[in-house]
Amino acid sequence: MKGRSETLRSIADKAFDVCVIGGGATGSGCALDSRLRGLTTVLLDAADFAGATSSTSTKIVHGGVRYLEQAVKDLDAKQYRVVQRALHERIRMLHNAPYLARPMEFIVPCYRRLDAAYFAAGLKIYDWIARGARLFPSRFLSREETLRRIPSLNPDHLVGSVAYADGQFDDARYNLTLIQTFAQAGGEALNYARVIAFERSVDGKLTACQVEDQFTHQRFTVRARAFVNATGPFADTIRQLATPGATPRMRLSKGVHILLPLEVMPGDDAMLIPKTEDGRVLFAVPWKGRLLVGTTEQEVTIHDELYVTKEEIAYLLRHLNRYLAAPVKPDQVVSGIAGARPLVSAGDSRDTKKLSRDHELEVDSQSGLISIMGGKWTTYRAMAEDAVNTVQKHLGIPVTESPTKSHPLIGSEGFTLDYWKKLASDYRIPEPTARYLAGKFGTVAAKVLDLAQEDPALAAPIVPDFPAVRAQVIYSARTEMAMTIEDVLFRRLGLQLYSWHSAIHAAPVVGSLLGRELGWSPDESVSTAREYGAKINRLLMLAGLEQQHDSTGAGDFS
């Protein structure tokens, strides 16, 4: 991908067929589909790509067993079709980027025979709906087999479990890779570019948007024949910019995850906790050397700050601990994430967990704005297909087949599951680094390591307890439009998720390398690292966890 300044020059005051607003899963999917159908396309995001909901998910590629249960209980054919479509998208998502997404087994522990029969029957229906897109069949596991697979499970009264398959993926990297693939196909993508107003023709149709660069506050115009609003939780803001007074449609549900040392639930399988006090399901999923546990559900607005609270940690651990032989304590939490599910309101449903995960397309008759709202990560491609079909109709051109059903994303070409071995031998790097880089970049990992061959100092790890290497910071800045320390540590490297404390330690190194690329002075690099450290310390404080005292050379974080 081109650098940010160069991209800015190529889009400011230029005209495109399509302007996609929002660089999360939905917008990136729309931009790629639009470009691959031959439309000149620009993608704008107000912050970092994947900077909102799309990097805070449970990272599961799924039809949704809970939504299926709801569909069956309520005899809801629409909900059933949502699950069915998602199950078919699941397999496409796995095939299009095999290094970023993989099948995973989920185990539902059962402490009563009746529960085992209920889940076994329900998950057979899940298999049946997936049919040809099934990953592997669900099955009952004996008590012994269940304890072999999850040794830390509470064995008292355990009768066995039901195992079923879904997928797991790296949400932030999947999002960034969609954008890279879009750029490779000739699209233009710019982050930190907020749409703040629209211009209209005499008949009221949108002709251009005004954009504000979030770093310089300079404004410019982007003209387009069609505008796609893919801003997830912020969809109403853009709808109201296009049509002042438009009725709000979005309901936001905050979801929180915590990360724990993997030792609390060792193994390769995930666990589904089928019922919480408030009728939800919880997941405990192995994630890049940690255990990801979530999620909660609480209605919020776009004005609420999203962070993990002490109470949410207590809620998640209370439920997890009912299933574990040795209880986990709050001080074992190493990091957390909070995000807002963009749900489309349906009548007066008071409970967000009952709102459908289906998506909705709206074409505003006055302005022509095309809004794609709701949905979930797993269905991003189908949402994009629907949105771009509508764009083509809006432009008065024939609706063509979506090319994204089977379009390998960058890094998938030539990728095999043992590709990491080639990296390890070609570049003489340790196995954990090779596995980590192959899982983040696929075959593009070679380009990252080429940087380290040119400058051997870049082969060094950023912090001792995490496999990321310094070359990734340079690569993030040059090729992936990383502009801040958080862009690098959270979404591009995943270190902020691995450990808040390690992320604080990494900040000065990342600040210095990123600063070199972006032209910061040494003082700026230090103060930026310090600000980042203070931000993470605040997250630790809000979560009721011990803060990091300065031991990094970056100064006082408080």
Torsion of CA 232, 238, 239, 245, to 10 degrees: 130
Q: Considering the complex, what minimum distance in angstroms separates the CB of residue 55 from ligand FAD?
A: 7
**Does residue 97 interact with ligand FAD by CB under 6 A?**
no
Q: To the nearest 10°, the Cα dihedral for 58, 59, 62, 66? A: 0
For residues 319 and 179, give the distance between their C-alpha atoms in angstroms, rounded to a whole number: 37
Stretch binding ligand FAD (CB under 6 A), from 99-107, 200-208, 225-233, 260-268: 225-233
Name the one range near ligand FAD by CB under 6 A: 52-60, 440-448, 479-487, 545-553.
Answer: 52-60
SS3 264: helix
Binder of ligand FAD out of 35, 225, 376, 491 (CB under 6 A): 376
Compute the distance between CA of residue 418 and CA of residue 86 in angstroms, rounded to an integer: 29
Among 44, 246, 495, 514, binds ligand FAD (CB under 6 A): 44
Pattern 378-397, binding to ligand FAD, x per CB under 6 A? x-------------------
Among 8, 19, 20, 21, binds ligand FAD (CB under 6 A): 21
Among 32, 43, 52, 264, binds ligand FAD (CB under 6 A): 52
Spatial contact of 493 and 500, defined as CB atoms under 8 Å apart: no
Choices 46-54, 433-441, 485-493, 547-555; region in contact with ligand FAD by CB under 6 A: 46-54
Q: Supply the DSSP symbol for 55.
A: G
Residue 553: strand, helix, or coil: coil
- What's phi and psi for 396, nearest 5 deg? 75, 30
CB 359 within 8 A of CB 267: no
Window of 220-228, 268-276, 334-342, 447-455 that interacts with ligand FAD by CB under 6 A: 334-342
- Count CB atoms within 10 A of the CB of residue 155: 12
The DSSP letter of residue 151 is: T
Binding mask 60-79 for ligand FAD (x = CB under 6 A): x-x-----------------
The pair phi, psi for residue 271, each rounded to 5°, is: -120, 140
Does 168 bind ligand FAD (CB under 6 A)? Our answer is: no
Minimum CB separation of residue 413 from ligand FAD in Å reads 25
Q: Is 291 exposed, middle or buried (0-12, 13-18, 19+ CB in 10 A)?
A: buried
Closest CB to ligand FAD among residues 176, 529: 176
The yes or no reply on residue 34 touching ligand FAD (CB under 6 A) is no
Strand partners, 257: 294, 337
Q: Decide if residue 167 touches ligand FAD (CB under 6 A).
A: no
Q: Put residue 245 in one of left, alpha, beta given phi > 0 → left and psi -120 to 50 → alpha.
A: left
Establish if 232 lies at the interface with ligand FAD (CB under 6 A): yes
Residue whose structure tokens are 């310089």: 216
Q: Which phi and psi angles does 285 have, rounded to 5°?
A: -125, 130
Binding mask 178-207 for ligand FAD (x = CB under 6 A): ----------------xx------------
Contact between 341 and ligand FAD by CB under 6 A: the answer reads yes
Is residue 50 within 8 Å of 168, Cβ to Cβ?
A: no
Calculate the alpha carbon distances from 485 to 192, 459, 515 in Å: 14, 19, 9
- Joined together, the tokens standing for residue 215 give 């770093």
Scanning 57-193, the segments in alpha helix (DSSP H) are 65-73, 77-96, 113-130, 143-149, 171-184
Stretch that binds ligand FAD, among 126-134, 335-343, 398-406, 473-481 (CB under 6 A): 335-343
Segment interacting with ligand FAD (CB under 6 A) among 264-272, 307-315, 337-345, 521-529: 337-345
Which of 174/532 has CB closer to ligand FAD? Answer: 174
- Is the CB of 46 or the CB of 206 nearer to ligand FAD? 46
Indicate which single residue of 1, 11, 19, 25 sits in contact with ligand FAD (rule: CB under 6 A). Answer: 25
Say whether residue 496 binds ligand FAD (CB under 6 A): no
> What's the CA gap between 288 and 280, in Å, rounded?
25
- As beta bridge partners, residue 165 has 105
Q: Is 30 in the site for ligand FAD (CB under 6 A)?
A: no
Scanning 71-79, 274-282, 340-348, 448-456 for contacts with ligand FAD by CB under 6 A, the matching segment is: 340-348
23 binds ligand FAD (CB under 6 A): yes
When the beta carbons of 18 and 340 are compared against ligand FAD, the nearer one is: 340
Tell me which of 231, 412, 433, 484 binds ligand FAD, using CB under 6 A.
231
Residue 127 or 297: which CB sits closer to ligand FAD?
Answer: 297
Give SS3 for 75: coil
Site for ligand FAD in 256-315 (CB under 6 A): 295
Q: Is 234 a residue that touches ligand FAD (CB under 6 A)?
A: yes
- Residue 340 CB, shortest distance to ligand FAD, in Å, is 6
- Helix (H) or strand (E) run with residue 542 in it: helix 522-542
Backbone angles phi, psi at 553, to 5 degrees: 85, 0
Q: Which residues bind ligand FAD (CB under 6 A)?
A: 21-27, 44-47, 51-54, 56-60, 62, 194-195, 230-234, 238, 255, 295, 339-342, 375-378
